[in-house]
Amino acid sequence: MKIRSFKVGIISILIVLLASIPFITHEGELFVVASDEVAEVTEGLSLEEKLDQLLDNPVLDRSIVGVSVRNAETGEEIYANDGDIMLHPASNMKILTAAAALEILGPDYQFKTEIWTDGNPRSRVLQGNLYLKGKGDPTLLKEDFDEIAQQLKDKGIMKINGNLIADDSWYDDVRLSQDLNWSDEPFYTGAQVSALNLSPNADYDTGTVIVEVTAADKAGEKAKVNLEPYTNTVNIVNKTETVAAGQSKSISIEREHGSNNIIIKGKMPLDGSMSRSWVSVWEPSYYAADVFKQSLEEHGIDFLGRSKVERGVTPDDAELLVTHTSMPLSEVLVPFMKLSNNGHGEMLTKEMGQVVHGEGSWDKGLEVLEDVAVNFGVDGKSILLRDGSGMSHKTYIPASELSRFLYEIQDEAWYEHFEYSLPVAGESERFVGGTLRNRMTSEPTKGNVFAKTGSLTSVNTLSGYVLTVEGEKLIFSILNNNYISGSVTPIQDAIVTELAKHTFEE
């Protein structure tokens, strides 16, 4: 079998039909937008020749494409294009993180959030501090805090003469991974990592608050701003104006770097639709504790005197009052993988470091990740792992190593949970199709491709499994790196479509 090397050559009969060079601006830069159409592959060719045609495309000129295809039953690599070149996986890194979490923690693993006190819990007035101790739950919601507050009330606690202490010591206090761009940190994709965190809704974007902007009652007034959940942790700086119906909307929502000032600018017409943004919070432990304090007060549990919300560590002689447990890991992986949740990837990495090495840090968590990858056949000398989400531009793995990993994990008892967590092509339900719900929406790919997407600036990736028309299973990894214009997703989809059509008699 011939393994194709990277080609920059004559354009084949398969081309991307370029549009007439429209431009869009993004932060002051110009980008060329190319057509998303891909021509039909010539019939009667071998699989290798068909994939070669798809890769011989002007959109890919001067970029690198690592491709690996394996027989899922035997592990034989039946096609490779620069499969041994170390490339950025983007969110395909989450494949390693999810599998490692299943291997190390197990599908039934649950995260705990604990309430402790150094006072007397048998008194209606608790004389002492209340400690909110987070242990890495990436799915905590305001509703969970409401349940905890009710349990404390059921124990007879009505007032607290002390402080509320946010204990996030289960992990270290390094909030951002070493390669995260500073310009990413105000947004949900770059939210800070803490053992005590909170999500605004059931998408579980940890460490974020939802900011909603709607028109005021009349023109000339500032637009209305709503927070979900409400928190005193952030400061809204409203620089908006409501304008007459029919005018254009121009609303921007962004947290000021290094602070919790959320700056909202622009014009909102009276008939304008709501603007909504998931904004990351600076120091999310305070955010979680602030919302928990609200839940306590809403359930009639008041703090006396000049009580404060502080960060601290639960004393060794404190008494445990309430333990809240999360959904099992197998369920956590669904929003993590299908919606490509970066925060989950980093929390899982630190959790593995804590469980295996007693240290909830990126360094120890990445040690675990690399050990798991090597144990499942990945060449340790060919990879460099820098975070658990794939946001790093310094993480490297070859396509052939990633496809080998996807092959090796198939016999594990937890594999069914891993496969279930992958986005499914063409399935419109968000928690089924995930990031593939609007791709490959027709036969033979719809419902037959289970794969993880990934994207960074100049990086677009897709790796997973596809069922062929004959019911056979193939493994693939496609890592596009170093392209700066056009769209490569139609080429990826065309490759996977040819794999779905593949018959082993070819």
* Residues marked as catalytic: 91, 94, 340
How far is it between the farthest Cα atoms of the chain?
82
CB 51 within 8 A of CB 474: no
**Torsion angle, alpha carbons of 333, 335, 341, 344, to 10:** -40
Please name the helix (run of DSSP H) or strand (run of DSSP E) that holds residue 431, with its range, or none. Answer: helix 430-433
Residue 504 buriedness (CB in 10 A; 0-12 / 13-18 / 19+) = exposed
> Distance between CA atoms of 443 and 337, rounded to whole angstroms?
23
The DSSP secondary-structure symbol of 380 reads: G
- In angstroms, the Cα distances linking 464 to 54, 293, 483 are 19, 43, 22
CB 184 within 8 A of CB 208: no
CB 461 within 8 A of CB 423: no
> Distance between CA atoms of 421 and 369, rounded to whole angstroms?
18
> Distance between CA atoms of 107 and 328, rounded to whole angstroms?
6
Structure tokens at 212: 């909603």
Residue with tokens 């909504």: 276
Contacts of 394 (CB under 8 A, 6+ apart): 179, 384, 386
> Distance between CA atoms of 189 and 192, rounded to whole angstroms?
9
